[in-house]
Each structure stands twice: as structure tokens, then as C-alpha cells.
Amino acid sequence: MEDQQAIAAVERAMVAIRRSQSRRAIQRIAGDTRLDPALFGVIDAVEEGPGAATVSSVADRMGVDQPRASRLVAKAVNAGLLRRVADPEDGRRSTLELTDLGVEQAEQVHRFRREVFGTAMRGWPEDDQREFARLLTSFVRVLGERYRGN
């Protein structure tokens, strides 16, 4: 049987997380990053794998439609974060990869996020940190499977 109070608490926490991840909030706390916050998701989607990233896989990984993903990818290419590469297995298709600038920006964003998350968990016992990571990772995996219909 499901604990409705626990589920309601998770819902409230997820809404609070979503709000804290708004473009404005990210821009305010990210500070010196040169990356447009709208492109964080594109870089994450290209890094996510498995396999070569395409506009279609970016759309799927970001949970957006193909035209939106195409516009975001084009913006990332124009910003010098991504490059299109001919797919060696299918010359009609191109794959996406991070440029040196894209890798640099991705690393900066990862460091920033980890600092924020580390600060939030500061003072937690290491066992609690590991258990939270295990449970959150499992939760996100199952949630993603449900949304993607896997």
C-alpha cells in the first residue's frame, strides 16, 4: 500500500526542485558561466548516451518535440558548443558532439551543480548521502521509464 503522505511530500519536493531549476534561478546562481541556461539541457542530452546523439535523441532525452530540439541544437551549434558530424554508418544522418568549448562549459556546469548539491547535503552522514543517491537515482530511472513508456 502506498503512503499517501510520503507521496505528497515527494510531489512538493519535486515542485520545489523544478522551481529552483528555472532559467532565472539558474542564471542567478550560475554566475560566471557563459552558457545560456536554455542550452544546459542540450549539453546534458548529448552527454547522456548511450550511442551517438542526434536531434531525435536530444528531443527524446529532453522530453521536447522535434522542432524545439532542432532549434535548441541549432542554437548550441551557433554558440560553438556542438558540431554536427556525418554519421559513418548512414551518410544521410548527422550526429552531434560537443566541441572543446562545449566540453569546457559542460565541465563548468557539472562543477557548479555538484557544488550546489554538495552544499545542500553538507553535514549529512556519508551513509545518508549514499542512500539518498541510490534512492533518487532509482526514482528518476523508474519515473523516466514511465514517461518514455519503456
Contact by Cβ (8 Å): 112, 40: no
List pLDDT tens digits, range 66-87.
999 999 999 999 999 999 998 8
- Return the pLDDT at 40: 83
* Whether 111 and 124 share a structural domain: yes
Same domain (yes/no): 114, 127: yes
Task: Give the pLDDT of residue 78.
Answer: 95
Domain interval for residue 20: 1-31
Structure confidence at residue 63 (pLDDT): 85
pLDDT score of 88: 78
Residue 109: band (very low, low, confident or very high) from pLDDT cuts 50, 70, 90:
confident
Ramachandran bin of 53, using left for φ above 0, alpha for ψ from -120 to 50, beta for the remaining angles: beta
* Number of structural domains found in the chain: 2
Higher pLDDT, 110 or 100: 100
Are 15 and 78 in the same domain? no
Predicted pLDDT of residue 123: 95
